[in-house]
Amino acid sequence: MKYLSTGLLVAFVTIGFPLTSEGFYSYNYGDIEGDTMKFWQITESTFTHDTALYGTPTVIGDSLMFDPSAFALSVTGGPFDFMDGMLDTEITSLPGTYIGAISFAEYGDVSIYGTGTADTKANVANLITVKITEIDGVPTVVPTLQLNTVFSPSDGDWNLADDGQKFGVQWQGVIYADVDAWIVEKGFSGHATKVELTMDNQLGVDSEAGSTAYIRKKETDGIKVTPMEEIPIPEPTVLALLGLGGLVLALIRGKRKS
């Protein structure tokens, strides 16, 4: 599946490929704290519509939850329509924890029907960008991690010629960003304590005379942060006691053998 970037959207407009829904919307929901993570300046924006697509977020555990009830497109007899919703936030780990991984899952359905060709189609795409800006509490510049969501079935792309008529077919998309492994891969040591996250979630539909294309995002499992607990370093007195305990055990074993 091809990811529809902002540049492609500009190209659509430039060559006269009309968008039936145009507008702009941006809203900052502020900060929300979870069990071991804090989400700062949660902001959603869209340059294709003038209403919220993600909706007011909440936090359950360390997952940023939202209800994308307005994230849907339908077109009958054309023209092409496109929906792009951005979500931005900074995530910091609370004392004693690190950001180990970030995952996201979403679900929806798609319908394409009528008489037509491959030009009657629907698709879904989602790109997540993770920028690690702090390791072990120290500001650090790590190369940005970008991942495309993996969709099934049909890789998130459907058209009338290749897939036939579809009525309410369920789809799902999943993504997993192993932040800890990325740090190691890029030659750094330590664990992330602050990251900047951007999610660019998109839908596209097109249809011909006598056909309809429809797709929507129904629900998500939220942006889930998997924390890593800090391994405490024993105090010197604790280390001394552990050493003494080991010495006692060695003496006892020595006496038993004799």
Domain residue limits at 223: 6-257
Q: What share of residues in the chain are helix, strand, coil (percent, to 5)?
A: 15, 50, 30
In a domain, 1, yes or no: no
**The pair of three-digit structure tokens given for residue 18, joined into one six-digit string:** 């009309």
User: Which of 233-238's residues contact partners 24+ apart within 8 Å by CB, and which partners?
Assistant: none
CA distance 77 to 87: 31
In a domain, 163, yes or no: yes
CA atoms within 13 A on the CB side of 166: 25
Which of these, 96, 80, 100, 53, lies nearest to 206 by C-alpha position? 80
CA distance 8 to 16: 12
In a domain, 221, yes or no: yes
In a domain, 14, yes or no: yes
Question: Looking at the 3D structure of the chain, how many domains does it have?
Answer: 1
Which of these, 195, 198, 199, lies nearest to 179 by C-alpha position? 195
pLDDT on residue 19: 41
In a domain, 208, yes or no: yes
Encode burial over 128-158: b for 16+ CB neighbours within 10 A, e otherwise: bbbbbebbeeeebebeebebebebeebebbb
**Residue pointed to by tokens 């030659």:** 187
In a domain, 28, yes or no: yes
Backbone angles phi, psi at 243, to 5 degrees: -65, -40
Along the 258 residues of the chain, how does pLDDT read in single tens digits? 344 433 334 333 333 333 444 579 999 999 999 999 999 999 999 999 999 999 999 999 999 999 998 999 999 998 999 999 999 999 999 999 999 999 999 999 999 999 999 999 999 999 999 999 999 999 999 999 999 999 999 999 999 999 999 999 999 999 999 999 999 999 999 999 999 999 999 999 999 999 999 999 999 999 999 998 654 444 444 344 445 455 444 554 555 555
pTM of the model: 0.81
